[in-house]
Chain A
């Protein structure tokens, strides 16, 4: 099992090795020439501005929504909680597709920040809301008894304890901002990822694309390092043993109406705009856009790729998950870090690495389903690992021993106890991977065998020719596929918080 784990970890290290290798191969002078130039500076500026503006805004949006839905007596707060998560069901590039339809002049940094906040703030809302639910309200009572008013209590007691959740959510969003392609192309905003794809389309896997990828990898590492640094050794677990009382909702009173506007506005912008736009294009397109075998074949291929990718990823993550739960140690932690880091790399970097490696070294794998699946596996390894770890932890080894003491053979014990207990979690993490694959664009575009058409690539091809009506059915399909996963995510986060 250690061998399998090491193999997966080695595969996970491949993109990083590739970047180093290609840098060495390119030669230092060329590297300097390609990296230290004005365009890279612009891209760096764009990308940093995007991150630095989007993250604080997302934090404000997410914390406000989380507080309103978790801690206030806002009418219909369960409903608003769902709507705060629901934008995740709309792929990022469908968000921007909707926005450029509604406001064709929406370009540049401001537009990029707006759409990013709408598309990604659920990634912050989920952990923040969960942490708010977990927080012991007694602490706020104590702070009030020590003479602090409600606003000061929130700032000095509640907010600091949301820090870890906020950092985690910010890291996730930041990595998405670095990796996303479709969203920014449509909204006319250049980032490293769009520039790499531009270079790829101008010169395939030329040195310029590879060097940009190198800088992008550094940015990802910087983001992760920054998060680790900020988080430090903080541990905000509840001190003490008693069961946390459920917080009494804060009465909004006269502020109720203005407060209702906030989730309403968020839902209108993040869900209303995509839904109305899709509805409009479907109406304009009529029956025409549903005709032909294209949609059917795209669905079939997407489902097949998503299932196979999810299964492969889950199987590849399983030994690591098993080891980290049942036999933790130093080596295991190193291997686990390898599994996690690769998922933070943008699809474009992983794809670029795999294109170059297969075309130069492993030609039989070039342009095969296997290579795309490998890319999916690397990209979504952490998703599978997180879910699997939790589900294997559901089945402590004591239960197996108990089953064996009751006369089961070891195999029977694993099958009847561990598999049974871990199955729902494993299925959920498979579903999360499948969802990621369904909406994946860049790696699929760059790696898939000729003739592969997924929902995402078809949607992309049609919007590139500004056939927005024709693209609408594909967007609807992606949203429909993502919806159950979003629901699952919401329920999981509630369960994780113990309610």
Chain B
């Protein structure tokens, strides 16, 4: 039973389409990440759910109650939806305590204890309470913003790129805190982000948006390994996309013959592999070795980029004259091949076949 239902949502700004026919459902207590490049409409979708903007078309139901429907719109302050914006947007004229308690009734007898509870939940020190927002670091500000949004015990929490302004290390720890806090409170959450790694690690449902449309939604693993199209594939991570001839669950391509998932299709198609499926073996003895049973191709190293723990090796596939660009493969910094040397490429697992046939 889905908790939040978005159906056929549409929004235009003048001639520009911001959202077109967007459907999305979110289960109670789940975590959804909406991911897309800037201008893809993800923030607009979030703002319409929050009630900050109006939709032109479509419906939104929260726990069966219509928030947006033809002709009616529940204003933001009556939706009971929590919201944490990009940089916290703490009220600069109020102390941290007053910021957190902003959504509480003014004469709530439990006010003080609630503030302390919340402060503890977001792992902040009590001595912060009387400070002003500008005296806090960016990460602390975001924690306060989360505490403030939690104070009213919302049924749904919207996070609008709340980690994007932070340093990498801080970002990860804060993301874990947020995930834990929201999970403990059993609050359904929608996170908007342009960072696909963040989306994949945070959510149990990822929705990809592009040019106002929701192109694909599902569990992170499925989206990562089975993207619907080339754009989604490259957006969610590095991808090796090769032209292939498909027949009976096998694809013939420049890497040789690979097993493909995706039904009994045949003919010319594009297949996708994630770089971690490919393993490069430096071919010292020129001996062909089947390795661990995966498929295998040959190539010649044209460039090596040292990068510490993980290095990149550019390889042209010798036996495919039509291959335009060299493949960029990951390799451990140990045992780096020399430029010009011949290498073997092992492929693990199945290649993914895009739904859309080659045009």
Interface residues of A (CB under 8 A from B): 136, 138-139, 141-150, 153, 156-157, 160-161, 163, 234-242, 248
Contact = CB atoms under 8 A, between A and B. Distances in A.
Interface in B59-88: 75-83, 85-88
B102 A235 contact: no
B93 A241 contact: no
Interface of B: 47, 50-53, 75-83, 85-94, 102-103, 132-134, 138, 141, 145, 148-149, 151-152, 154, 158, 164-165
B50 A141 contact: yes
Nearest to A236: B92
A235 B92 contact: yes
Nearest to B166: A241
Contacts of A160: 91, 93-94
Nearest to A234: B93
B89 A139 contact: yes
A147 B80 contact: yes
Contacts of A143: 77, 91, 102
A240 B81 contact: no
6 contacts: A141-B76, A142-B83, A144-B52, A239-B88, A240-B138, A242-B86
Contacts of B80: 147
B313 to A, nearest CB: 37
B91 A157 contact: yes
A145 B92 contact: no
B97 to A, nearest CB: 15
Given A235-B134, A240-B165, 14 more contacts: A138-B87, A142-B89, A144-B51, A144-B52, A144-B75, A145-B50, A145-B83, A146-B149, A147-B78, A148-B77, A150-B77, A163-B93, A237-B134, A239-B133
B90 A239 contact: yes
Nearest to B43: A245
Contact of A239 (B52, B83, B134, B148): B134
A235 B86 CA distance: 21
A112 B44 CA distance: 50
Contacts of A141: 47, 50, 52, 76, 83, 85, 89
Contacts of A241: 87, 138, 165
Interface centre among A146, A160, A237 (most CB of B within 10 A): A146
B193 to A, nearest CB: 14
Pairs of residues from A and B, 5 with the lowest C-beta to C-beta distance, nearest first: A240-B87, A146-B103, A144-B76, A145-B83, A138-B89
Contacts of B76: 141, 144-145
A142 B87 contact: no
Nearest to B87: A240
A145 B134 CA distance: 22
A54 to B, nearest CB: 26
B87 A146 contact: no
A71 to B, nearest CB: 14
A160 B102 CA distance: 14
Given A235-B134, A239-B92, A242-B165, A147 B77 contact: yes
Nearest to A159: B93
B93 A147 contact: no
Contact of B77 (A149, A236, A238, A240): A149
Given A234-B93, A237-B92, A242-B165, A145 B79 contact: yes
B225 to A, nearest CB: 33
A149 B94 CA distance: 19
Nearest to A139: B89
